[in-house]
Each structure stands twice: as C-alpha cells, then as structure tokens.
Amino acid sequence: MITNGDIYLTNMIDIMIDLETMSTRPTAAIVSIGAVAFDYTDNDPIKNTFYTNVVLDDSDGSQIDGETVMWWMEQSNEARKALTYPTPIYLPFALENLKAFIEDNMDKYTRLWSHNNFDSPIIRDSFRRCGLKFSISFRRDRDIRTILDVYNDLYSADVPIERDGVLHNALDDAIYQAKVVTYILKHLS
C-alpha cells in the first residue's frame, strides 16, 4: 500500500509518454506520440495504451532540424515505417486525442513520466502552441533517466527488463519505459 499524506492509495495510475520528433529542441516537430497508463503496484502494470502519428508540418511553429532528419535516415526500416502507419493526423487532433487518453486514465495523483528534459518540454510546448491546456501539472513530471541512475548507483546493475517491439517506435518505447519504471519502483519500495 502506498501512502500520500492521510490518503492510502491501492492503485496509482501514472502516464508514460514518448515522442518521436524531427528536432531535439522544445519546439520540435512531433511525428509520433506513444503513451501508456500504468499502475506500478500491479503485477500486470500496463493498463491502457495510446499511439498516433502526426503529420510532419512546421506551419504551427514547430522546428525540423537536418541533423535529426539524417539521424532518422540511419534508423531501422521498421522505425521509419512506424511513422507512417497508422496514417498521420494533424497535431491539434493528435493532442486532443492524447488529452482525452490522459484524462480518461488519470486521477489527482497521476504523474507524467518521460525523458523529462526532452519529451515533457516538447509536448507541453506543442499544447501551448495549439492553444490547448495540458492535463498534468508540471509539478507531477518525473524523469526516467534520474530514477534509472538512482537504481544503477544503488545496485550497480542494469534493470533486467527485456525490450519488445521496435526501437524508436513511440508506443514500444513508452511500454518498455513504463516496465522499467515499474520494476525500479517496486524494487525500491
């Protein structure tokens, strides 16, 4: 059982988000969004998933960097193909769908997990540029790299989670990252 002040929580749904983009800046053009609702207290932590591709378009003020485009050209065929199926939709619609997914799966204790210096600033800036309000407060942001470093420092070991799916597929990456965070939080509690 997890406690939060006087409230005892038996289920805690968090959101893991992963983006595939065409830049590394906070204003990056998003080409794919993957998200997972997960409960790290459960033996079967993955509860719901979300995936959408986004039309590559910089008319909304997003940025495309040649260096990132060249990096994508070096990735696997499966990773590149994943950016076109399912059919990409325009960013405002993708963000509305993501917002609905988050709100359908969150409560007031939900945290947003991501590579916090990358995914979170990009998704929050995209919501701002599209005139939408993001559902989770920045105060609830959590970083995968930090918790992974803490685990590695404490145990001098890698997290023993097998990776499934395609590397650099936003949903496959989000699922893997949710499993890693679940393992670490269970191990640390």
Give the Å distances, CA to CA, from 173 to 7, 29, 58, 134: 32, 18, 24, 21
Residue 10 has a pLDDT of 52
Q: Chain-centre distance of CA 163, in angstroms?
A: 16
Residue 7 has a pLDDT of 43
Domain interval for residue 179: 11-188
Q: What is the mean pLDDT of each run of 10 residues along the chain (189 residues)?
A: 45 92 96 97 94 89 95 96 95 97 93 95 96 94 95 91 95 97 91
In a domain, 5, yes or no: no
In a domain, 2, yes or no: no
In a domain, 115, yes or no: yes
95 vs 172: CA distance, rounded Å: 19
Residue 4 has a pLDDT of 45
User: 63: domain CATH number?
Assistant: 3.30.420.10
Residue 189 has a pLDDT of 80
Claim: this prediction has a pTM higher than 0.95: no
Residues in the chain: 189
Q: The tokens 């790299």 sit on which residue?
A: 145
How many domains is the chain partitioned into structurally? Answer: 1
In a domain, 4, yes or no: no
Q: What are phi and psi of 114, to 5 degrees?
A: -170, 180
